[in-house]
Amino acid sequence: METRIKTDEEYDEKAEVERLIKKHTYIMPRTKLGWVLSSIIIVSFLMVYPGLMWANTAYPFILGMPFTYVWLTFWVHVIMAAGIYAAKKLWI
Amino acid sequence: MDQAVISIVIVVLFTFIVLSIGMFGWAKKMDTSAQDYFVASRTLGFAALFFTYTATYHSASAFLGTGGFLYAHGISYWAIGPYTQTIGGILLYLFGSRIWLLGKKYNYYTPGDLLGAFYESKFLKVLTGIVLAAFVIPYVQLQLAGAGWITEFVTFGAVPYVWGATGLGLVVLLYVYLGGMRSVAWTDIFMGVFMFFAIVVGGWYLTNILLGGPTQAWLTIEDRTPLQLVLPGAPGYFTLPMAFSWTVIITIGLSVAAPHVIMRMFSATSIRILKWVAVLSPIFLVWIYISYVWFGMGTRALYPGIEFPDEILPRFLFEHTPVVFAALICAGGLAAMLSTANSQLHASGALLSRDVYNTINKNAGEKQLVTVGRVAILIIFVFSAFAAIQKPPLLAMLIALATGGMAQIFPMLFGALFWPRATKAGAISGFIVGTIIMVWFELGGINLFGMMPGFWALAANTIVFVVVSYSTRPQSAHIIKKFHGFLDSEEAKNMLKL
C-alpha cells in the first residue's frame, strides 16, 4: 500500500488551521461586565431549574399572589433587566 | 342586528384591513430582486422588525393553546413560556449579531446560505432547506386550523371550519405571494399591536367579571384547585425535567433556529435595531399573558371538566361579554394566527427557492428565484391547508414536533458562528441523527426520563456533532478566516457601529 508523504503546504495549512481555531474559539465573556451579567442570567435561570425543587410551593402568598408565581415572575424580570442593561452598556 | 352578522362583519373587516396592508407592503417594494422579496433588502426598521418577530412568535397557541395549557397544567406554563421568550431574546442578539454581519458581508439571506458556505456543502444546504421547510408545514397547518376554529366559533357556525381555514389562508397566501417580506412585516405591525391589546384586555375583562379580579382569582384557585399553583400541575405532566426540556427546546426552536427568525436577523437595517428588538421583545412576549394566567387558571377553578379547554377564551367571551367586544378580541386571535402563518409560508418559500433550487440551478436569475419562491409558497400552502382540513386534535404536539425539528440546526449554527473546530461531517451526521430521533420519539410518544423528544434529539445531535467534528479534518483555513476571522476583525466591529 502506498503511503503518501505530506507536503510542506499541507503542514502549513494544518498549522494555520490550528492557530485560527485557537484564536477564534471563545464562548466566555471578554469583559468584567460581561461576566457579571452572564452570571446574573445563569443564576436567575438556575433559580428556576433546578431552583423550583425547593421553591415549588404556593405559600406564603405575597401581595395576594402565590409564592411560585412571584418567584417565577421575579427571576424572569431579572433576566430581562440584565438583557436590557447589556444592550445599553455592553453590546454594540 | 343578528349576532352572527355582527361577528361576520368584524371578521370580514379585520381580514380586509390585513389584506389592504399586505397589498400596501407589496406596493412599497424597492425592486423585483430576490433580496427584496426575501429579506426586504435588509431595510427593516425597529417597528417592523419588532412586530414581525413578536407577532410571528405568538401563534394560534397564544390565543387558544395557552388557555388550554393554563387550564390543564396551571402554573407550569409560567415556568416555561416567559423563560423561553426572555432567554430567547438574549440568544437572538448573541447569534443574530453574527448572522447579521455574515449576511451583510456575503449576501446571505437563508440559514442554508450561511451553513452551506461554512461547511462547504451543497448537500447540507439542500438537506436543511428541505427538512426545515417540511417542519414548517405542521406549523402553518396549526395556524390555519386555529383560524378555522375561531371563524366557525365567532360566526356561530355560519362560516364553517373549512371555509374559515382556507379563506383566511388564501388571504395570507395572496399578500405573501405578491409582497414577500415587506407585506409580511407591514401586516405584522398591525396584527402585533392588535393581538397584544386583544389578549390583555380580553383576559383582564373576563378575570374581573368571572373571578372578581386578580387577587380574588388567586384565592379561588388556592381554594378549589390548589394543585394548579405548583408543578407538575393537576395532571402531573409537567415535572421539573419535562418543564426544563420544553424550555430548552422552545427557546432554541422558536428564538434562534427557526428559519423565519434567522431571516429576520438578516433583514435588520442595523445591528442597533436588532439589539433593541432582542432585549425588548420579551416585554411584549411575556406581558401579553399577564391577565391570561389569571383567567386561564381561574376558569378551571370555577368550571372544572370543560371538554375542550383550548376554547376557553373565545367561549367565555361570547358567553359573558357583548358580541362586538367578543368578536373584536377573537379577531386579535386571528391576528396571532395569520401573523405566524405568513412568516412561516414566506420562510418556506425562501428555503426551497434559495437553498434547494438555487443550489441545483446555480445560474438562476433573480426573477427566477422569486418565481420559484412563490411556487414553493403555493405548494407549502396546499399541503398545510390540506392537513388543516383534517382538523388536527393535538395543537401542543404539532408545536412540539415543529419546534423540536427546527431546533436540530442549532448545533451546526453554533459551530458556524462560535466554534471553528466544527466540521462538515459533524454537522451532517448530527443533523441526520437528531432529525431521525426527533421524528421517531415524537411519533412513538417516547418521553425518555420524563423529557420531551426534541430534547433528546438535540442532545444526540450535539454529541454526534462534537464527536464527529473532533474525529474529522477541520474546515479549511480559508473558510475559518472567512467566517470566524471576519467576525473578529476590525471590519466587522466597524460594521456593527454603523
- Three cell numbers written together for B403: 419546534
Separation of CA B60 from chain center = 10
The yes-or-no verdict on residue A24 having pLDDT over 80 is: no
- Segment B446-462 shows an average pLDDT of 91
* pLDDT per residue as tens digits for the range B197-216: 999 999 999 999 999 999 99
**C-alpha distances in Å from residue A57, one per residue of B81, B226, B363:** 19, 10, 62
Burial of B20 (0-12, 13-18, 19+ CB in 10 A): middle
Distance of CA B406 to the CA centre of its chain: 10
- The pLDDT, as a whole number, for residue B405 is 81
**Considering only residues 55 to 84 of chain A, which have any Cβ-Cβ distance to chain B shorter than 8 Å?**
56-58, 61, 64-66, 68-69, 72-73, 76, 79-80, 83-84
At B31, the amino acid letter reads D
* Average pLDDT of chain B, as a whole number: 90
CB atoms within 10 A of CB A67: 17
Q: By three-state DSSP, how is residue B44 classified?
A: strand
Return the SS3 of B74.
coil
pLDDT of B63 above 90: no
The pLDDT value given to residue B57: 87
CB contact (8 A) between residue B86 and residue A83: yes
B345 pLDDT band, cuts 50/70/90, is very high
**In the numeric block, which cell numbers belong to residue B210?**
368571572
| Residue tagged 426573477 (cell numbers) | B367
- pLDDT tens digits, B283-293: 999 999 999 99
Task: Show residues of chain B in contact with A91, CB under 8 Å.
Answer: 93, 97, 275
Return the residue in A12, A16, A21, A44 with the most chain B beta carbons within 10 A, the one to mutate for interface testing: A21
Give the chain A residue whose CA is nearest to the CA of B280.
A84
Report the C-alpha gap between B487 and A25 in whole angstroms. Answer: 11
Residue of A nearest to B482 (CA): A20
What pLDDT sits at residue B394? 54
Is B109's pLDDT higher than 70?
yes
**B189-193 average pLDDT score:** 93
Quick check: B393 pLDDT over 60?
A: no
- Which 8-state DSSP code applies to residue A64? T
Indicate the pLDDT class of residue B321, thresholds 50, 70 and 90. Answer: very high
Q: How confident is the model over B286-309, as a mean pLDDT?
A: 92
Q: Say if A23 is an interface residue toward chain B (CB within 8 Å).
A: yes
The predicted pLDDT at position B398 comes to: 67
Which pLDDT band holds residue B61 (cuts at 50, 70, 90)?
A: confident
- What is the pLDDT, as a whole number, of residue B301? 93
Is A10 touching B (CB cutoff 8 A)? no
Asked if residue B256 lies in contact with residue B92, where contact means CB atoms within 8 angstroms, the answer is yes
Is B454:B252 a contact under the CB 8 Å cutoff?
no
pLDDT score at B293 = 94
- CA distances for A37 relative to B32, B106, B295, angstroms: 44, 32, 34
Q: What is the pLDDT of residue B1?
A: 63
Residues B408, B257 contacting (CB under 8 angstroms): yes
Helix or strand or coil: residue B399?
Answer: helix
- The CB density around residue B364, as the number of other CB atoms within 10 Å, is 17
Measured in degrees and rounded to the nearest 5, phi and psi for residue B423 equal: -125, 165
Whether residue A18 is predicted with pLDDT greater than 90 in this model: the reply is no
pLDDT at B22 over 60: yes
Chain B touched by A25 (CB under 8 Å): yes
Shortest Cα distance, chain B CAs vs residue A1, angstroms = 22
Give the pLDDT band of residue A9 (cuts 50, 70, 90). Answer: low
Amino acid at B469: S
Residue-wise pLDDT tens digits, B364-379: 888 899 999 999 999 9
* pLDDT of B39: 87
Say which DSSP state B163 is in: H
B76-106 vs B290-302: helix crossing angle, rounded to 10: 150
pLDDT of residue A19: 81
pLDDT tens-digit map of B64-86:
888 889 999 999 999 999 999 99
Residues of B within 8 A of A81 (CB-CB) are none
Looking at CA atoms only, how far is residue B312 from chain A in angstroms?
22
Tell if the CB–CB gap between A41 and B87 is shorter than 8 Å. Answer: yes
Report DSSP state, residue B268: B
C-alpha of B97 from chain center? 20
Cell of B357: 433550487
Residue A5's pLDDT is: 63
Q: What value does the mean pLDDT take over residues B453-466?
A: 94
The whole model's pTM is what? 0.90
Residue A92 has pLDDT above 80, yes or no: no
Nearest by CB to A91, from B82, B275, B283: name it: B275
At residue A57, does pLDDT exceed 90?
A: yes
Residues 408-447 of B with CB under 8 A from A: 418-421
